[in-house]
Amino acid sequence: MCDERGFTLWFTGLPCSGKTTLADAVAEELRKRGLKVERLDGDVVRRTLSRDLGFSREDREENIRRVAFVAKLLTRNGVVVLTSFVSPYRKVREEARKEIGDFVEVYVKCPLEVCMQRDVKGMYKKALAGEIKDFTGVSDPYEEPLNPEIIVETNKESVEACVSKILKELEGIGYLPSERC
């Protein structure tokens, strides 16, 4: 079994940028390396832990605070936590970083136009039509990370290339051994 050092890999980016796809793929690779891994996904958390919250700025910030608390508990108990949340505001992402400690921010960078093309749920279309207010990237801002540890560009790199880059960066900053356990 690998060293039981926990950390949180925080995937942030516009809706439909590829956060969940990448987090799931990285989680699978980390499990193959013998690590204890948990996924915290925005859609799942919204149906369970944060079902009482809406999408106002205050509610979005509270959602991220709840996720950060859960991630902190798991991280300190040797679990690798992969979160996939739009988490559009820098201030609350920085709060999450401070709360968790062992925190690696992954900016899933993708142009808005590409995210709109990938929108299988039709959320962007509804937001542009005024049916959804405060939608990130349309009527509410997304504040890009200033100094993320990892940046992947899903409009330019394949899922496999992004996963490889993330794993290599985790090895480079000391969160993963360079060889499989």
Q: What CA–CA distance (Å, rounded) separates 115 from 134?
A: 17
In 3D space, the residue among 15, 12, 34, 31 whose CA is nearest the CA of residue 140 turns out to be 15
| Closest residue by Cα to residue 136 from 159, 114, 115 | 115
Strand ranges for 60-160 from DSSP E: 80-84, 103-109, 150-153
Say whether 84 is catalytic: no
Q: Are 68 and 99 in contact (CB under 8 A)?
A: yes
From 17, 50, 84, 87, active-site residue: 87
Residues marked active site are found at 87
